[in-house]
Amino acid sequence: MNRAVRLGSLEQLGQSVPEANIHANFERWKSLGEGKTAMVTGANAGLGFFASLGLAAAGAHVILACRNQSRAEKAMAAIQARVPGASVEFMQFDAGSMLSAMSLAAELRSRQLDILVANAGMIRTPAQREEGALGYEKTMTTNVLGHARLIGELAEKFKVGNLRLISLGSMSTLLMRTDPSNLKLEHDYNPYRAYVQSKAVLQSMGIGLDHRLRQLQWPARSVAVHPGYSISGLTPEIEGINEPDFAQRFAGRLQGSFAQGKHEGSVAIVEAALNQRLDRCAPGVFFGPQWTSKGRISLARPANVTRSKVLQDAAWEILIQANEGLDPFAL
């Protein structure tokens, strides 16, 4: 195949389409993670937990980078109960702290790292604007700046190895306009807007980084993904990991025609991390559900704003700001 694939079914890559949930893909991904080390931020619950489960089942050594060690240990125990012999470990990471990102990077710099999943983030955003780092509000700080610093600190790994960065975007970027001129939300703050804009920036940063890596001719890839509309109420109950109450289950049933569980939404993450034909994908590749909110994983079309020069330039400026004014991927 000579042309670079941008959109459509993964069958264009010469592979079958993944099954609908993490568990059904264990055979598909079997052994693809052997010899690899993967790190998932925010891995103690939700999408991060199920992505870690899928990567562990594929044979990877999985680092659960979490803020709360006790919750991470519960997640590791749950993974080992479902994947006998799974290789997992905990590392401390608070996505809202630059110092935490620097500390984690210092631990990782001398270690093997093949997959980095930038998943940790804030979903329940503050009702009122709260100041975060570098003048940004707290949601942007947590969802973007901490990861931007971690990525910058690990830039050398993108240069010397086949590191694969997976950045978690969101279908919400298709539903609300992002204003590149007001990313700090110093005016017109709204909790949902804060979430959407943070996800748009992270998604745009991931897409832009993949183009930059091609320009640099570095071997790494940066893949943006979105998990569709994935909710706890449609996710299997796992003690200490996902324990939806009656109301959440009821709401899940009502939304079942257009929503899915997190064990389904996380398929995009693991597929992006392990797909063996990624070299056939055009720069700026984006994995997501076929029907946007749910469905089999395909090469999807990201929100136009996240592919625009204006937001990619703004996202790159945030990456530079998070790394103290230095561009870790300077041409």
Q: pLDDT tens digits, the chain, 331 residues: what are they?
A: 457 899 999 999 998 999 999 999 999 999 999 999 999 999 999 999 999 999 999 999 999 999 999 999 999 999 999 999 999 999 999 999 999 999 999 999 999 999 999 999 998 899 999 999 999 999 999 999 999 999 999 999 999 999 999 999 999 999 999 999 999 999 999 999 999 999 999 999 999 999 999 999 999 999 999 999 999 999 999 998 999 999 999 999 999 999 999 999 999 999 999 999 999 999 999 999 999 999 999 999 999 999 999 999 999 999 999 999 999 999 7
Domains detected in the chain? 8-322 (3.40.50.720)
Q: DSSP secondary structure string, 261-290? A: EHHHHTHHHHHHHH-TTGGGBPTT-EEEET
Instruction: For the chain, give the number of residues.
Output: 331
Q: What's the one-letter identity of residue 215?
A: Q
SS (H, E, C) 28-76: HHCCCCCCCEEEEECCCCHHHHHHHHHHHHCCCEEEEEECCHHHHHHHH
Reference 306, options 174, 123, 189, 183; nearest CA is: 174
> What is the Cα–Cα distance from 23 to 6, expressed in whole angstroms?
27
SS (H, E, C) 193-258: HHHHHHHHHHHHHHHHHHHHHHHHCCCCEEEEECCCCEEHHHCCCECCCECCCHHHHHHHHHCCCC
Q: What is the pLDDT of residue 331?
A: 77
43 CB burial (10 A radius; 0-12, 13-18, 19+): buried
Q: What is the pLDDT of residue 1?
A: 41
Partners of residue 116 on adjacent β-strands: 39, 165
Q: What is the pLDDT of residue 123?
A: 85
Query: Under 8 Å CB-to-CB from 35, ≥6 apart: which residues?
Result: 59
**Cβ(178)–Cβ(302) below 8 Å:** no
Q: What is the pLDDT of residue 221?
A: 97
Q: Phi then psi for 120, rounded to 5 degrees?
A: -55, 140
pTM: 0.96
Q: What's the one-letter identity of residue 170?
A: S
Neighbours of 263 (CB within 10 A): 25
Partners of residue 230 on adjacent β-strands: 260
Task: Give me 53's structure tokens.
Answer: 């489960």
> What is the Cα–Cα distance from 118 to 142, expressed in whole angstroms?
11
